[in-house]
Amino acid sequence: MGAGITDASWSLESEKTPRGKRPWNPTLQKKKGGVPGSLGQEECALVSLADATGVPLDIAAGRWAEGRTQIMDTAKKLEYRKLLLSLVPDSGENIGNVSLREELQQRARASADELTDEDYWSLRDALIDEGVLEQGRGRGGSVHRVRMLEAAPISVAGAAAGEKMSAVAVAVPAEVLAEVVELKSEADLYEPFHHAIVDGYTKDNRIKRFISEVTAQQGRRITGGKWTRPDITLIAVRAYTFTPGKRVEVITFEVKPDIDGALEGVYEALAHSAFAHRSYLAVDIREFKGREDEIPHERIVHECTRHGVGYIAFTDVSDYATYDVVCSAKLNEPDPYDVDNFVKTQISQAKQEEIREFLQY
């Protein structure tokens, strides 16, 4: 990483030449006086690039910048990436791009290096792509760390099951224990539901190329609240006869163990529309006491239909033959940036690689 491509005191002027010669004759002139100055090593290389490719000097400059970024020393990139991350507060608070960039450049100068603004953006974006930083708000933009939850020191679920807590354990209110038991029963549905979706839903909807994961417990990232993390995620890569290219479609599922928690599940599924193309609420209705041909809970159906959320009712989570798609999810068109960010932060690296392969071949 060195100084910028051209000195700030230079400007670009391009003149047309007679037919038969190369299409552009770039010259670098000083802003004051108009007297050509001597060219430095980088400027000479830049003019040579323009001569060799026959493109305008400004385009050659862009290609030079791209090439320069690509041939940066890998070890040096890693070193400054770690330094940049160390300058972002551990607390998860935002830090502005301007102050972060200036601090990084100051540290680099202390080590006899010169980082450009483009170097900063490249390093910052690499950390965002790795999922360790996220963009924040503020003038000039900001970033913050993706915070991780620590493992729980005691087993609350064990206490709920009647196990004796250690002497150092904190007393847990009965209502909290009841909620833990309910969450545990919901979590028990994730894997069999996931298998049913892979074996049944994909075939029923002619989805050939896809990845799927249980994302409810994907890592321990804090990503803005429980409503930003679906229980099950299916990502399909589809191609159509008269539509060019390939289309990535994110389909999410919010699973509830009974009808009592279904209304909240509607709005959890609706929150997924920020990054999902289709969102479903799936409810285990085996305890429902209505008639066999009756649609369970009209209010749930009404809210799902009103918000475009799909509603799946099932009586045996392991058997897709018992799944009834009461209403289909409407197609939603989320911001591609939000889709991309969701995949980066919530889908495992191995599955991300599968998606890339689907898009390439």
Residue 277's Cβ-side half-sphere holds a number of Cα atoms within 13 Å equal to: 15
> pLDDT at position 323, please?
94
19 pLDDT above the threshold of 90: no
Mean pLDDT of 322-348: 93
> pLDDT at position 197, please?
96
What tens digit of pLDDT does each residue of 217-232 get?
A: 755 454 445 567 899 9
**The CA-based dihedral angle spanning residues 253, 256, 260, 264, taken in that order and rounded to the nearest 10 degrees:** -40
The structural architecture, per CATH, of the domain 74-145 is Orthogonal Bundle (1.10)
How many CB atoms are located within 10 Å of the residue 108 CB? 20
CA distance 62 to 76: 22
- 187 versus 62: the higher-pLDDT residue is 187
Extract long-range pairs of 57-64: CB within 8 Å, 24+ residues apart. Answer: 57/12, 57/14, 57/24, 57/26, 58/12, 58/14, 61/5, 61/6, 61/12, 64/5
Helix, strand, coil abundance in the chain, percent, nearest 5:
45, 20, 40
Candidates 220, 248, 218, 238; CA nearest to 230 is 218
Q: How confident is the model at residue 57 (pLDDT cuts 50, 70, 90)?
A: low
Q: CATH 1.10.10.10 occupies which residues in the chain?
A: 74-145
Environment class of 187 (CB within 10 Å of its CB; exposed 0-12, middle 13-18, buried 19+): middle
Give the pairing of strands 25-30 and 232-239: unpaired
For residue 120, the Cα-to-chain-centroid distance in whole angstroms is 20
Three-state SS at 8: coil
Is there a contact between 235 and 206 (Cβ–Cβ < 8 Å)?
Answer: no
CA distance 352 to 347: 6
What tens digit of pLDDT does each residue of 154-190 get?
A: 344 444 444 444 434 444 444 444 444 444 588 899 9
The pTM of this model reads 0.57
What H or E segment, with its residue span, contains residue 27?
Answer: strand 25-30
For residue 15, the Cα-to-chain-centroid distance in whole angstroms is 45
> pLDDT at position 53, please?
54
Is there a contact between 16 and 23 (Cβ–Cβ < 8 Å)?
Answer: yes
Beta strands (DSSP E) in 204-297 are 210-214, 232-239, 246-256, 278-284
What tens digit of pLDDT does each residue of 75-132 get?
A: 888 888 999 999 999 888 899 999 999 999 999 998 888 889 888 998 998 888 888 8
Longest dimension (CA), the chain: 92
